[in-house]
């Protein structure tokens, strides 16, 4: 089963207003997923550009937490297992970011 209907308004909302927004990149076989936090600076883009090109990656989705709800926007339909893998990878990304936050009393 394929999942994905592109909604430009939701895409923009995720990029502009979501918590933990990321771009998800993959190769054509979906075996190599890379998540990059948004927005990224020109410096970050320069660092990852060569790696992404060498690995043959392209953007396949935008993910974020919008109004407390996990959102995933894909410009083209993806296999269901890949969409779920992206959601799981985004969750691990969020957990890694929030576990590194130190709180003080």
> Each residue of 41-61: pLDDT tens digit?
888 888 888 888 888 998 899
What pLDDT is attached to residue 100?
A: 64
Closest CA to 34 of 43, 67, 44: 44
Closest CA to 86 of 100, 94, 48, 7: 94
What pLDDT is attached to residue 96?
A: 92
| Domain boundaries defined on the chain | 2-99
């Amino acid at each position: 089963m394929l999942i994905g209907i592109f909604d430009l308004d939701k895409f923009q909302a995720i990029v502009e207003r979501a918590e933990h927004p990321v771009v998800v990149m993959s190769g054509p076989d979906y075996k190599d997923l890379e998540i990059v936090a948004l927005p990224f600076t020109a410096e970050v883009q320069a660092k990852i550009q060569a790696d992404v090109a060498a690995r043959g990656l392209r953007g396949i989705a935008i993910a974020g937490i919008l109004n407390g709800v996990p959102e995933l926007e894909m410009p083209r339909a993806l296999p269901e297992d890949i969409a779920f893998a992206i959601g799981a990878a985004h969750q691990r990304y969020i957990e890694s970011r929030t576990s590194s936050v130190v709180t003080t009393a």
